[in-house]
Amino acid sequence: MKAAFLARCRGIVGADQVLTDALDMAPFLTDWRGRFTGSALAVVRPATPEQVALVVRACAQWRVPLVPQGGKTGLVLGGVPDQSGRAIVLSLARMNRVRSLDPVNRTITLDAGCILEDVQEAAAAHGCLFPLSLAAEGSCTIGGNLSTNAGGTAVLRYGNTRDLCLGLEVVTPQGELWNGLRALRKDNTGYDLRDLFIGAEGTLGVITGAVLKLHPQPKASITALVALATPRHALALLTLMQDSCGASLTGFELMSDFCLRLVATHFPALPQPFVTRHAQYVLLELSSSESERHAVGLLERAIETALESDIADDALVATSIAQSRSLWQLREHISMAQAAAGKNIKHDVSLPISRIADFIARTDALLAQAYPGCRLVCFGHVGDGNLHYNVAPPEHTGDDDFLACQPGVNRIVHDSVHGFGGSISAEHGIGALKRDELVRYKSEVELNMMRAIKTALDPLGIMNPGKIL
């Protein structure tokens, strides 16, 4: 039976695109952070949406589960199979063609296996911006971005991946090809299947293609680092910046002093912007559709107001692209500095923006009480209410000793998030990693609707089983 199924797969995609040898399959079975290794019947690599449809039809016929896989950069074990060895990995990596780009409609139509950075470059070549931007952009694929509704650093201005997608092409769990590749800004003709597949992590169908929105390329971007006393001051700065700069505000990232000290310790070559230390910092980015002079003027006036009204204590506006890069590098090196410092317990949470300061104060206090001396590495996309609220061991405590506390730490952080009306997964998704947490925090009403939809669309339960639900 297994042999007949594999023979069918070979007939569809070609013998050399069905990997069954353990060594060949290995790169497809371990997750990005190297924490988990699954097992698979085979890795199947189709070249076209039609081949995907035929492979899924074979899976349905033989009741073989399938795990769609893109760049495999996900952080919640959504794109790797479990250890049963029953499933195939369906890798979309070969499907990486930009099908068309329409500069007047400002849309790009492409295969799901396109790498994000390649899409950014294809847009730029036509004077357009594809604004999705995140750390894994050199490896992650659009299909993965869509399936996890990826966030990143430009959400404040341009939204999540969901907001950048107009249409989808999907292979259903029955192996039918749905052409929903609409390039329309307005379309009210029935249920919003597009947004149902976005963020479904491959559990309802396989996204094989998409129509994405492009934006005009800004003429100039300018960066500043603002020093301030507390997260509450950061919220006041956000309101001030949005009121005075509107859509020109394209980045607003919070970093605590502890984050910057970690970076200074582990990356001493990076310039430290301020001589005096401050408790909190906000990295700001402003973009102008007019000119650099316009962006600088707008930013300087807003910062002046922030300093005069005691919202900000100090500020540095980058005067060159190099200086702007080095300010962003401080932000981008936090994760690596953390890794260099040792293991820690990570959380990707979101909150109503107005409650961030209270959340941090309250949760810091609860953790200090339960785990005296633990250190908080708190930073994130505060303009979107998204915090990476990570907990590092007390000094002189072994990493592994502290990692044993993970369930207790998660409980404190996630209970607190839930109490403040927040989300336990802002931009990473649920996958296999947070499935139990989901059941804990979602209402039975919501879980039952999700289960009903899953059963309605995938009655055989072959699509990425064990993920989300």
Smallest distance, Å, CB 100 to a second copy? Answer: 11
| Residue 87 DSSP code | P
**Do residues 120 and 130 touch, judged by C-beta distance below 8 A?**
yes
CA atoms of 394 and 334, how far apart (whole Å): 18
Sites for a second copy among residues 363-382 (CB under 8 A): 381
CA atoms of 332 and 334, how far apart (whole Å): 6
- Shorter beta-carbon distance to a second copy: residue 18 or 382: 382
Sites for a second copy among residues 10-49 (CB under 8 A): none
Smallest distance, Å, CB 301 to a second copy? Answer: 9
**Do residues 208 and 92 touch, judged by C-beta distance below 8 A?**
yes
The residue from 8, 10, 162, 266 that contacts a second copy (CB under 8 A) is 162
The residue from 52, 245, 255, 303 that contacts a second copy (CB under 8 A) is 245
Give the DSSP letter string of 161-206.
GGGGEEEEEEE-TTS-EEEE----S---SS--HHHHHTTSTTSS-E
- Shorter beta-carbon distance to a second copy: residue 74 or 273: 74
Element (H, E) at 388: strand 386-392
**Do residues 348 and 417 touch, judged by C-beta distance below 8 A?**
no
CA atoms of 51 and 39, how far apart (whole Å): 23
Smallest distance, Å, CB 14 to a second copy? Answer: 26
Would you state the structure tokens that stand for residue 316, as one six-digit string?
A: 């540095």
Q: Check residue 298 for interaction with a second copy (CB under 8 A).
A: yes
Q: Check residue 160 for interaction with a second copy (CB under 8 A).
A: yes
Smallest distance, Å, CB 459 to a second copy? Answer: 9
Smallest distance, Å, CB 3 to a second copy? Answer: 31
Instruction: Using the structure block, give the residue that is written with the tokens 């910046």.
Output: 241
- Shorter beta-carbon distance to a second copy: residue 289 or 323: 289
- Shorter beta-carbon distance to a second copy: residue 29 or 132: 132
- Render the burial of 75-85: b for 16+ CB within 10 Å, e for the rest: bbbbbbbbeee
Residue 389, classed as helix, strand or coil, is strand
**Do residues 379 and 334 touch, judged by C-beta distance below 8 A?**
yes
Smallest distance, Å, CB 191 to a second copy? Answer: 5
Q: Check residue 419 for interaction with a second copy (CB under 8 A).
A: no
Sites for a second copy among residues 180-209 (CB under 8 A): 180, 182-193, 195-196, 198-200, 204
Smallest distance, Å, CB 1 to a second copy? Answer: 28
Partnered with residue 392 across adjacent β-strands are 375
Sites for a second copy among residues 385-404 (CB under 8 A): 385-386
**Do residues 223 and 283 touch, judged by C-beta distance below 8 A?**
yes
Sites for a second copy among residues 87-146 (CB under 8 A): 102-107, 127
Smallest distance, Å, CB 254 to a second copy? Answer: 14
The residue from 4, 26, 247, 365 that contacts a second copy (CB under 8 A) is 247
The residue from 134, 229, 412, 450 that contacts a second copy (CB under 8 A) is 450
